[in-house]
Amino acid sequence: MKADFKHILYGGDYNPNQWPEAVWKEDMELFDKARINSATVNVFSWAKLQPSEERYDFEELDKVIEMLGKNHKDIVLATSTAAMPAWMFRKYPEVARTDYAGRHHKFGQRQNACPNSPVYQRYAAKLAQKLAKRYGHLDSVVCWHINNEYSGECYCENCEKAFRVWLRKKYGTLKALNEAWNTEFWGHTLYDWEEIVLPNALGEGLEWCSGTAFAGISIDYARFNSDSMLENFKMERNAIRSVDQKTPVTTNLMGTFKQLDYFKWAKEMDVVSWDNYPSYDTPVSLTAMQHDLMRGLKQQPFMLMEQTPSQQNWQPYNSLKKPGQMRAQSYQAIAHGADTIQFFQLRRSVGGCEKFHGAVIAHAGTDNTRVFREVTQLGTELEELGDQILGTANPADVGILFDWDNYWALEFTSGPHKDLKYVDQIHRHYKFFYEKNIAVDMIPRDADFSKYKLIVAPVLYMVHQGVKEALEAFVKKGGVLVTGFMSGIVGESDNVYLGGYPGPLRDLAGIWVEEIDALAPEQKNSVKFKDGTEFTSTMLCDLIHLEGAESMADYSSNFYAGTPAVTKNSYGKGTVYYLGTQPEDCAFTRMMDCIVKEAAVKSLVDERTSLEVTVRKTKENTFYFLINFSKEETVVPQCFAGMQNLLTGETVSRQEILKPFEVEIIKK
C-alpha cells in the first residue's frame, strides 16, 4: 500500500489536550490563516485514553477528531504507545526497561517500555485496535502514526529470554553459535542456551575498548533489539489492519539513527516518515543525504513528519532559524522526495522539557510573529503547487551503499582507529556528489545494482553472502565500483576473512592488503599521483600489493613509501577503484572527478553553481529545485533563463540572482 494524499500534507503535531477548549477555536482560525491542512494528534495521550487498567476514555479525543473533521483538516492519527501510563509501571514494574548498566528503570520519560514485555505488548495492541475501530472508518483520518521515534535498548530478563529464542532460530545449534561468535577466544565456549547473557556493562562490555569484548554477540544483540522493536510496530500495525485495511501506516524514523535497521523496517511500512532536526552547524549535504536515505528505504516518496519552524530545545546550542531558512529546508525536503511538510509543534507547550521547542503558534499566541508569517507564506505556496509534485520520482545513476550491519560492526570492532565513524565516511563520499549536483540514491546491500552506472561502497567492512557476487556481476557488465580501506574484512558474525584483505573483494579490486596503519590525529602521510602532484592523507593507510590492478597514486612518506595508496582495476567491462587511505579534500575531489567521468555520470546542470539543484520528475514533466544555502547571492544557471518559476509565476531572467535561502522551482 502507498500513501495517496490528495495534496501536500501541511501541518504537524497538535496537542489540544494540553489546552482548554476555548483555545481550540483560536487554533482552527490560525491554522486556516497559515494554510495548515493537517494535524498529527494523539501522540502522547495513553494516560488520558486509559486512566486505569480496565477503563478507557475517548471523550476528549472524540471532540478533537470531530473538530478537525469539521474544519476540513486531514488527520494523522497516532496510537500513543511511546509513553506508558503511570498505573502500568506501578502494577507491572517489569514493563520498564533495564539499561546498559543493569539499572531497572521506574516511571518517567518516554520510549520507556521493554519491547519484549508481554504486558506492554498486550495493552499496546489493544489500544491500537480500539483506536482503529473507533476512528479508522473516517475519511479525515489519512494516515496511522504508530508509536513515536522508536529508540533505545533494554537489557532485562524478558529480553534475555527472548534473545535466546531469537538465537535458537538464527543458529539452530550451540555449535553453530559458538563458531559464529568465536567463543574459543578467552575460553567463552557455551554448553547451554541458558548460559547466554546479554552483552551489557555487566557482561561483555569494555569501557576501555569499543564497548564489547565479543563483537559477534553485540552485533547480534543490535539485530535482535531492532527486530524486537520492529515486532512491536508490526503488532500495532496488524491490530489496526484487523479493522482498517485502507489507511496507510507509518512510524517516524530518524535519518541515520544507529539502533534500528531502517531498510528492514521499511519493508513493513506503507510509507516512510522521518523527523529532520539539523543543528546550527549540520552540513546541508548531510541533511540532503538523510533525505535521500529516507527516500531510498522504499525507493519512493516519504513524509517529513517533524521539523521545527524555528528552533530545537534539546541540542547544546539551539539557534533560531534565520529568515527564509525554514522555507528553504522545507523545499529541500520536497526536492529530495518529501510529499508532506509537518512540524513539531503547532502550538508551543506551556511546560515540560519541550516548552522552548519552536512552534507555529508561539507562547505569545498571536499570528504577529516572524515564524507565523513564514509558515503562512510556505503554506500558501504549497497550496498553489497543488498535487503536481506528489508521487514524482528522483532518478539517479549513482548508488551509495548504506548498511546498518556495517554501521554496527565497524563501530563495535576494537581498532584500528577510534575516530573511524561509519556515517562520516558515507557522508564524505555523498558530499562530493552533492557539491557537483549529481543525483544519488542511498541503497541497501540487496539493491538492484544494475540500475546504476556507479556504486560507491565506502568502509564495506562486513560483506554478507551474495554481496560479492552482486558487485562482481555489476562490474562485469560495465559498472564502476568505488570502495577502499576497511572493506572486505569480516563476514556477518565479525570473523575475519582469511587469506588477505579485502577478503571476498580481493579479485574484484585486484589487490591484497598486508597491513593497515592507523595515523593519530596529529599524523599525516604524503601521497603522490603519477604526474608528480603530492597530497596528504590521514586516518588509515593500507599497505597494498598489486594483483592485476594499477596504482593511481603511491605513498611518498613513511616506511611504505613507494607502495600503492590508490588503485584501479579492470574487471570484465567495468572498473573498480580502491582508496587505501583517506586523502585530503582536493585530492579526493580529483580522484572522484576521474571516476565520475569514466562512469559517464552527469550533473543535473552543466554549469558550475553553488546552488543546490535537485530534480523530481514524471514521464511528462521535470521539476528543478534551485536552493541557495550559501551565504552569498548566486546567479541562477543560464540554462534556466526563459523558464517559469512555479513559486512566483514569473519568467527566470538572465543573470537572475538568488539571495541566501531563496528558492525557485522550475517546471520543464
**Cβ(621)–Cβ(668) under 8 Å?**
yes
- Contacts for 405 with CB less than 8 Å, ≥ 6 apart: 219, 223, 261, 445, 462, 464, 492
**Cβ(255)–Cβ(308) under 8 Å?**
no
Dihedral sign, Cα of residue 48, residue 50, residue 55, residue 56? positive
**Cβ(119)–Cβ(88) under 8 Å?**
yes
Q: Which residues of 83-116 are buried (b: 16+ CB within 10 A; e: fewer)?
A: bbbeebbeebebbbbbbeeeeebebeeebbbbbb
**Cβ(94)–Cβ(55) under 8 Å?**
no
Alpha-carbon distance of 309 to 347, in angstroms, equals: 11
**Cβ(79)–Cβ(145) under 8 Å?**
yes
Runs of H (alpha helix) within 481-584: 506-509
Alpha-carbon distance of 389 to 385, in angstroms, equals: 8
Alpha-carbon distance of 273 to 339, in angstroms, equals: 10
Select from 358, 409, 385, 425 the least CA-distant residue to 220. 409
Catalytic site residues? 149, 306
Select from 365, 369, 368, 349 the least CA-distant residue to 357. 349
Alpha-carbon distance of 270 to 248, in angstroms, equals: 6
